[in-house]
Amino acid sequence: MMKSILLVFLGLSWALTRPAVARDHRPKRPPNIIYVLADDLGFNEVGCYGQSKIKTPNIDRIAREGMRFTQHYSGSPVCAPSRCVLLTGKHTGNAYVRDNYEMGGWKRDSKEGQLSLLKDTFTLPKLLQKNGYRTGAMGKWGLGGPDSPGHPNLQGFDEWYGYLCQRVAHNYYPTHLWRNQEKHVLSNPYFAAHQKFSGRPDNPESYAKYAGEDYSMDFMTREALTFVRENKDRPFFLYLPFPVPHVSLQVPEDSLEEYRGKFNDQPYLGNKGYLPHPSPRAAYAAMITRMDRDIGSVLDLLDGLSLSRNTIVFFSSDNGPTFNGGCDREFFDSAGPLHGGKCELYEGGIRVPFVVRWPGHIAAGTISDHVSAFWDVLPTIAEIIGAKTPGDIDGISFLPTLLGRGDQEQHDSLYWEYHARKGMQAVRMGDWKALRLNRRDNPNGPVELYNLAVDLGETKDVSAKNPQVVRKIVEVMNARQPSPIERWNFTSVK
């Protein structure tokens, strides 16, 4: 009797144990990866960073359920080079695209696109394709036009939908977007994205001609949701470089209504570029909140498909807040305690919001002061999936920070260069931040030096008291690689 009971017990134990052992040895599916990139969104323009006037509950949710970075930097203070840095892992001292570079003009029939990535460029989506990922991107590209080697389909994306050209993206009601290499015609009349106001400022009908029927963000979000559904059973990488809140100020009425009349708005008549709007502050806030709603629809879909726990979601911005087109960054305190904004290498131009969620891997509600930048994203994702990267990239994986490990490697320095406004360079080295401005007029000009630990707003230049630090930083500035685009080269200084 006892022997029979023992045999039954052993048999039951084997039956219960066998499936568990089998499950443990099955190959685990790599995590899905979603990277959402806002356009010109300031460090302080989302709730989890201190914004009080603009509602961003879904971005705040990512922070609440994951990690919020306080010292994360974009690749550049403007669009195209920042995107190049993100996708290649090379900072602007080594990257091919180092500034915005238009290939067309502003007329209706002008050639679309900006300077193209080169054919053989190593990119993050190519790396993921090679490692079995289905890759998709919906939003604003800016790294090559329809017939260029920089087209998203030639740079690692299986699926593309959105604006190829940054100029076309100045209008949220365009005549067309691009699905892969074909035009998708929308139900919008053509109108220039930059024109003078005509009509009565107090008459709402005077602004009606600056809108259309098909709002581009709605279409890009719809494509993104379709991509997730179609690839729910395989590893996927979804890149969402949304154009919001880059001007022009345009948003459907149902979103505008939430903010209309709340901010003592005065009409914007187009005197600082882009299109007029009767309620510019309300429109700006509504654009961000509507984008946040779109991000929420992606998060909800992940929940509905039971994909959330196996999907890492990143959210950031390509540079700091803008100064034109009716935007009011002082009113919204868009850069918070930081100095400067878009087109500047002060902190307000390049320090950006960055939140990451990966349930079961990243502890919820954590805050990190790790100093990181766009060129770190590629090696981080590579480490997540166990892939190798070329030796010539500039990034360092911050996966140890995400996972709460204590072995995080640090940068000796971070470097930026920007070529408009007479050229400028910036370096961060520990708590030191240095800038050299007006490089073309004065290549041997002074270096501004700030101690961010005690002067986050970069108000007190301490270069005269720290000549040894300045010398080390100048060495970093001089280590940048010459660009094949001659207008992007500086005269080396000592």
pLDDT band of 491, cuts 50, 70, 90: low
- The CATH number of 414-488 is 3.30.1120.10
Least confident of 6-20, 305-319, 383-397: 6-20
Q: Which two tokens stand for residue 179?
A: 């699905």
Q: Does position 217 have pLDDT exceeding 50, yes or no?
A: yes
The Cα–Cα gap between 142 and 152 comes to 10
What DSSP letter does each residue of 460-482 carry, written as one string?
---GGG-HHHHHHHHHHHHTSPP
Per residue in 267-299, pLDDT tens? 999 999 999 999 999 999 999 999 999 999 999
Average pLDDT value over all residues in the chain? 93
Q: Does position 464 have pLDDT exceeding 60, yes or no?
A: yes
Per residue in 143-182, pLDDT tens? 999 999 999 999 999 999 999 999 999 999 999 999 999 9
Number of neighbouring beta carbons within 10 Å of residue 466: 15
Angle at 309 between CA 305 and CA 314, to 5 degrees: 100
Helices (H), 37-132: 57-64, 79-88, 124-130
Per residue in 397-454, pLDDT tens? 999 999 999 899 999 999 999 999 999 999 999 999 999 999 988 888 899 999 999 9
The alpha-carbon radius of gyration of the chain (Å, integer) is: 24
Q: Does position 7 have pLDDT exceeding 80, yes or no?
A: no
pTM of the model: 0.93
32-403 fold: Alkaline Phosphatase, subunit A (3.40.720)
Q: What is the pLDDT of residue 172?
A: 98
Q: What is the pLDDT of residue 441?
A: 87
Per residue in 294-311, pLDDT tens? 999 999 999 999 999 999
The Cα–Cα gap between 44 and 54 comes to 10
Closest CA to 167 of 113, 115, 241, 214: 113
Q: Residues near 449 by Cβ (< 8 Å), separated by ≥ 6?
A: 432, 433, 434, 461, 462, 463, 466, 469, 470, 473
The residue extents of the domains of the chain are: 32-403, 414-488
Per residue in 9-40, pLDDT tens? 334 433 333 333 333 333 478 999 999 999 99
